[in-house]
């Protein structure tokens, strides 16, 4: 569907917590090589599926840093799948595209 880069808690609430569909949230930072390596995969998922991807640069704003802390992000890349406003899966580290799509599809079934 779409890829969103967000910097405010309000955007997070609108794009993730209020979404009618499962959303993959990528907590990342510009200095993180594995995070940068995951970026093209996340773009492909957003372009090729009916799922939204939300990217949160944990250093881009105070809201983003607070969200990372609130959702217990201790290492990056850290991707979380949200469905119906709740975290339903956590994926830490680099993963193949199909593993991410599978997690989103599983959330859509629940």
End-to-end CA distance of the chain: 20
Q: What is the pTM of this model?
A: 0.95
Catalytic residue set:
32, 35
User: What pLDDT does 107 receive?
Assistant: 96
Distance in angstroms (rounded) separating the CA atoms of residues 37 and 34: 5
Interacting residues of 72 by C-beta distance below 8 A, sequence separation 6+: none
User: What pLDDT does 92 receive?
Assistant: 95
For residue 72, the tally of other CB atoms under 10 A from its CB is 10
Summarize pLDDT for 23-82 with one digit per residue, the tens.
999 999 999 999 999 999 999 999 999 999 999 999 999 999 999 999 999 999 999 999
Q: Which two tokens stand for residue 13?
A: 């609430």
Q: Indicate whether 1 pLDDT > 80.
A: no
| Domain ranges across the chain | 3-109
Please work out, in degrees rounded to the nearest 5, the angle formed at the alpha carbon of residue 55 by the alpha carbons of 28 and 79: 60
| Nearest to 49, CA basis, from 88, 105, 110 | 105
Q: To the nearest whole number, what is the mean pLDDT of the chain?
A: 95
| Nearest to 26, CA basis, from 59, 54, 4 | 54
Highest CATH level, class, for 3-109: alpha beta
3-state secondary structure of 60: coil
């Amino acid at each position: 569907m779409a890829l969103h880069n967000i910097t405010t808690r309000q955007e997070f609430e609108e794009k993730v917590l209020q979404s009618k569909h499962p959303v993959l949230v990528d907590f990342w930072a510009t200095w993180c090589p594995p995070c940068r390596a995951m970026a093209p995969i996340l773009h492909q998922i957003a372009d090729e599926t009916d799922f939204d991807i939300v990217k949160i640069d944990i250093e881009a704003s105070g809201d983003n840093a607070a969200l990372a802390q609130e959702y217990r992000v201790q290492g990056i890349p850290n991707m979380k799948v949200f469905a119906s406003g709740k975290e339903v899966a956590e994926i830490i580290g680099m993963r193949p595209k199909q593993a991410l799509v599978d997690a989103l599809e599983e959330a859509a079934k629940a």
